[in-house]
Amino acid sequence: MALNLIKKHIQMTQTKGNSIVQVNLDDDFNVPDIKPDVQKIIQEHGEIKINNVDVMDDKVKVKGEMECTILYLTDSDEKPVHSLNCLMPFEEVINLDGIQEDDDISIRTKVENLSTNIINSRKLSAKSIVELEALAEDQYFINVATDIEGEQTVQNINEEIKASQIFLSKKDTYRVRDELAIPNSKPNIMEILWTNAHIRNPEIRLIDDRINIKGDVALFVLYIGETDDKPVEFVEFELPFNGSIDCEGCTEEMIADITMRILKKDVQIRPDLDGEERVLDVEIITELEIKVYEQENINILKDVYSPSKEILIKKQPVTYENIMLKNQTQCKITEKLSIKKDVDPYILQICQTEGDIKIDDIEMREDGLEVEGVINVQIIYVAADDKTPINVIKDIIPYNHTIDAKGINEQCIYKVKPTIDYISCNMLDDQEVEIRCGVNLDTIVFEQISKEVMVDIEEQDLDKKKIYDLPSIVGYIVKKDETLWDIAKKYYTTTDKIKDVNGLTEDYVLKPGDKLIIMKNIETIVNV
């Protein structure tokens, strides 16, 4: 009966193409006629929307726009604070050698260095750098031999490898909807000026056939109150969410690498039961980038031989991955910030504090990763100045943290995702505040392992002269690092026969210098 290798497919993911480009946006725009003159810009915020991704051979065309929201002061209106929006379209071609039209491309975006300036009271300029990252991943299989079937005389030995194969890779969305009532102490809403939303305390875990999602959306709304003096008011809410996404076949034992971000937010004013504008209709659309890995201990064939046949083994090198580390560590930061004296008005009350976190550098150290980055902090506060009722403190806070990663080496692939777990601001006095911030560093490290695996075998008849020339009995002294398998293969016998002749127990481990008796295998002579 012919020998046949039994093989197992391991599904892996590799980066087929990855490219980052920076797009410079620079545009002037007029203040709409319905808006008053601009005296001072308080705050600006940019959000990227990708409208179309056209994949071609070796390149990707990306079309999108940045929506820039500007909060500003005026001195020519009964309402001192206003906001306006402008759109900055862009179109960019990203070169990605090797990709094809039917490849699945992921586009990630980041707004860098957004700044706005006053040209005159009716005209503004906006400049920004938009970072676009195009990523193409390809799924492939490696085949490893796990067993052999055929003649009963064939001897085989296995070894165990640990491999992490990709079980699922996809994107999905999750919606958070709620109707929020303004507290009784606050006036009705006349106009929404500014909104911010951030995901806080996300807990994402696998259960059988589903991904469970839990956390909060921190929502901040700055608005004009509907009273005679039209005050600037603000409200903060926490929108808890708890739901799930279908993930057929996944189990709790698998490892999930999931990134959740806010894709779109919509905050609309709705009347309450009394017809007053006191309700906010909120819809938050989040996007989840999901990768689920299955870790498996696989017994693969290490070696094969037969006492009655010559077996030629063909091997080839393969590279597979194993998840060495998947954890989340936290770095706590405390920093004091001050207003610019003689420029900024004094602080009366803190409205909202937000931070944009970035990683500047990651260095591999012995048994760890050293992460350096910054948090761009922006604090909106009520000012002790009737002409400037709202102002912003902007500053950069550096951070440094070492992630324990025992055994990490240059062959490892790692990914660190920074998020802000919490950020708060306390007034120390009317000119200084203290920031407290918790940074989460979600880390996954893949160990890349290169190994030669058995892919094919070929049977040949034994060399008759070689077998007949073997002595009938041999006294053998075990050498360093030699195993019973090595000796049995060398003399065309089996490990069981050597154990029987020498009275060795099943679990006996050879030591250098051990003396063995090797008997010629009679079955080999008969078959030859």
What pLDDT is recorded for position 401?
A: 95
- Flag whether pLDDT at 528 surpasses 60: no
Cα–Cα–Cα angle for 333, 109, 248, rounded to 5 degrees: 90
Task: Read off the pLDDT of residues 6-58 as tens digits, 9 standing for 90 and up.
Answer: 999 888 888 888 999 999 999 999 999 999 999 999 999 999 999 999 999 99
- Give the residue with greater pLDDT, 307 vs 423: 423
Q: Grade residue 523 by pLDDT with cuts at 50, 70 and 90.
A: low
**Is pLDDT above 70 for 201?**
yes
Question: What is the per-residue pLDDT for 304?
Answer: 92
Q: Greater confidence, 302 or 150? A: 302
**Mean pLDDT of all residues belonging to the chain:** 91
State the DSSP H helix or E strand holding residue 124, giving kind and residue range, or none if neither.
Answer: strand 123-149
* pLDDT of amino acid 229: 85
> What one-letter code names the amino acid at 447?
E
Indicate the pLDDT class of residue 258, thresholds 50, 70 and 90: very high
Q: Residue 106: pLDDT above 80? A: yes
Q: 7-21, 243-257, 456-470 — which is least confidently predicted?
A: 456-470
pLDDT digits (tens, 9 = 90+) for 163-183: 999 999 999 999 999 999 999
Comparing CA positions, the residue from 118, 75, 83 lying closest to residue 387 is 75
CA 159 – CA 145 distance, rounded (Å): 11
Q: What would the pLDDT profile of 352-372 be if each residue is shown by its tens digit?
A: 999 999 999 999 998 899 999
388, 424 contact by CB (below 8 A): no
What is the distance between the alpha carbons of residues 411 and 402, in angstroms, rounded to a whole number? 19
Give the predicted TM-score (pTM) of the model: 0.85
pLDDT of residue 2: 75
* pLDDT range class, residue 329, cuts 50, 70, 90: very high
Q: 118 to each of 125, 391, 437, 463, how far by Cα in Å?
A: 6, 17, 33, 92
The pLDDT of 65-70, averaged and rounded, is: 95
Q: Are 91 and 132 in contact (CB under 8 A)?
A: no
The proportion of the chain whose per-residue pLDDT surpasses 70, expressed as a percent, equals 98
Amino acid at 330: Q
Residue 467 has pLDDT above 90, yes or no: no
List the chain domain ranges: 1-150, 464-527
Mean pLDDT of 285-298: 94
- Which residues on neighbouring strands pair with residue 338, listed in sequence order? 432
Six-digit token pair at 194? 């500014």
Per-range mean pLDDT, top range of 305-309, 443-447, 505-509: 443-447
CATH 3.40.1350.10 fits 464-527, yes or no: no
